């Protein structure tokens, strides 16, 4: 009886796995997990109006002291790590899907923001950040004059 190893299918499957791994390193999204720090978490929505840019991040179960927010010119950085709850260290897990992996997420914004006026709030697992646009990034109405 021939096994898959004898027929060559084993080698084709292995080659496909290696090619998938190789190509995924080039085609991976900008935010990805590198094993030590999640660069694709949390999920984000970013949008703007005339005066502000808004960002929302889903962070269920996080506390304020587990999240850091940094703003530099047109860059928003979120960092954090969920802490273990008391008793978790001695628990015997049957399934653990809520990781304690730290995250570091950087988002490039379309314009510079006024870092001194940024506001953030965490409510019901949703982090909402309001980033006022820098004065030079806001649209200005130009008055027309007669020649």
Burial class (CB in 10 A: 0-12, 13-18, 19+), 111: middle
Q: Are residues 22 and 64 in the same domain?
A: no
Cα–Cα distance, 54 to 99 (Å, whole number) = 27
Task: Please determine, for residue 115, whether its predicted confidence score (pLDDT) is greater than 70.
Answer: yes
Cα–Cα distance, 75 to 115 (Å, whole number) = 10
For residue 59, which of 109, 98, 33 has the smallest C-alpha distance?
Answer: 98
Taking all residues of the chain, what is their mean pLDDT, rounded to a whole number? 81
Cα–Cα distance, 80 to 67 (Å, whole number) = 4
- 23 confidence band (pLDDT: 50, 70, 90): low
Total domains in the fold of the chain:
2
User: Residue 105 — φ and ψ, nearest 5°?
Assistant: -120, 130
Q: Are residues 52 and 114 in the same domain?
A: yes
Which pair of tokens denotes residue 23? 């190509």
The CATH code of the domain that includes 108 is 2.60.40.790
Give the domain range for residue 7. Answer: 1-30
For residue 132, which of 44, 42, 71, 67 has the smallest C-alpha distance?
Answer: 71
The answer as to whether 42 is a domain residue is yes
Q: Are residues 45 and 21 in the same domain?
A: no
Task: Please determine, for residue 1, whether its predicted confidence score (pLDDT) is greater than 90.
Answer: no
Higher pLDDT, 121 or 85: 121
The answer as to whether 13 is a domain residue is yes
For residue 101, which of 29, 28, 41 has the smallest C-alpha distance?
Answer: 41
Q: Are residues 26 and 87 in the same domain?
A: no
DSSP state of 38: B
pLDDT, mean of residues 21-38 = 54
Give the list of residues 6+ apart from residue 126 with CB closer than 8 angstroms, or none: 56, 57, 58, 59
Q: What is the pTM of this model?
A: 0.66
């Amino acid at each position: 009886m021939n096994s898959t190893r004898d027929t060559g299918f084993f080698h084709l499957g292995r080659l496909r796995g290696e090619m998938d791994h190789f190509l995924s390193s080039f085609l991976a999204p900008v935010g990805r997990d590198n094993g030590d720090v999640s660069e694709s978490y949390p999920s984000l929505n970013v949008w703007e109006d005339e005066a502000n840019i808004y960002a929302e991040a889903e962070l269920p179960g996080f506390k304020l002291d587990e999240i850091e927010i940094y703003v530099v010119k047109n860059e928003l950085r979120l960092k954090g790590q969920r802490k273990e709850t008391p008793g978790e260290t001695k628990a015997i897990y049957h399934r653990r899907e809520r990781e304690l992996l730290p995250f570091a997420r950087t988002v490039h914004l379309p314009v510079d923001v006024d870092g001194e006026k940024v506001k953030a709030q965490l409510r019901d697992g949703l982090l909402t950040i309001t980033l006022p646009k820098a004065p030079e990034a806001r649209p200005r109405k130009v008055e027309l004059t007669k020649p």
